[in-house]
A = this chain, B = another copy of it.
């Protein structure tokens, strides 16, 4: 911070990029926009935009989240700073430093074309083609972060609507991790963690028609999971197959995919 007058500094453009996840149709989906201009015209990219002069990056991220999803109230959603990407050549047009955020949505609406998004859509995380800029890497980092936070926080309820069954909560874990979990054991663990979920007395939901009705739960007030709910060491292969996260090294520097 010393030496404002000793070092010349170059102005940077500062943007936010959003990796917005949801669990729908039994799979993990990501909100993406299709680029309508060069560079990377026709490629999918993460939604995002410039940080305005009077707002913080977090404020900008929440504003963009509202614009891109079309949701009128995004104040209750989970939004978390992921990492900042600053490779000098990550945007061929100019020097852009981007602060990436991750958001989790329960049961999202189809995105409207509002904001500056040409055409925003929910796409399955698996089998995504190459994204624009370094967004492959950002998305992989975001996926890894979300998967890790499911282990030791109560974050999974952020993917669920206000009332949910334990089966739906388990599907969140299975979808993000790409692994199958033992249902009785999962249930035992969740219920043994105070404040993770609380049962709604007398309520039950028919599970898509078949099977015994499941009790409904609300998110509790706990935020941490002690002890954590660790994902199995090796993924025992689940129906919606999951590509293993390509970023084994979480360091954000050193490469621009």
Residues in B neighbouring A163, C-beta threshold 8 A: none
Q: Which of A207-257 contact B (CB under 8 A)?
A: 226-228, 230, 233, 251-254
- Within 8 Å of chain B (Cβ to Cβ): is A182? no
What is the bound-complex CA distance between A207 and B228, given in angstroms?
Answer: 36
A186 within 8 A of B: no
Q: Which of A44-60 contact B (CB under 8 A)?
A: 45-46, 48-59
Q: Is the CB of B48 within 8 A of A1?
A: yes
**A81, chain B: closest CB distance, angstroms:** 6
| Distance in Å: Cβ of A177 to nearest Cβ of chain B | 15
Cβ–Cβ contact A84 & B55, under 8 A: no
Pair A253/B51 contact, Cβ less than 8 Å? no
- Complex Cα distance, B254 from A145, in Å, reads 22
A37 in the interface (beta carbon within 8 A): yes
Partner of A2 from B12, B53, B80, B116 at Cβ < 8 Å: B116
Sorting the interface of chain A by its residue count into under 10, 10 to 19, 20 to 34 or 35 or more gives 35 or more
Question: Measured between alpha carbons, how far is A133 from B2 in the docked complex, in Å?
Answer: 12
Copies of the chain in the assembly:
2
Query: Are A51 and B12 touching (Cβ within 8 A)?
Result: yes
Q: Are the CB atoms of B88 and A55 closer together than 8 Å?
A: yes
Decide yes or no whether A95 CB sits under 8 A from chain B. Answer: yes
- Residues of B close to A227: CB separation below 8 A: 230
Which of B6, B46, B116, B252 interacts with A3 by CB under 8 Å? Answer: B116
Nearest-Cβ distance from residue A105 to partner chain B, whole angstroms:
18
Q: Is A132 an interface residue (CB 8 A)?
A: yes
Chain B, Cβ-Cβ closest to A17: B1
* With A53-B88, A57-B97, A228-B228 as contacts: A12 and B11 at CB distance below 8 Å: yes
In the complex, the answer to whether B36 meets A2 with C-beta atoms within 8 Å is yes
Complex CA distance for A88 and B51, rounded to whole angstroms: 10
For the complex of A and B, 9 pairs with smallest distance between CB atoms: A11-B11, A58-B253, A3-B116, A57-B86, A10-B53, A9-B50, A84-B84, A12-B14, A56-B86
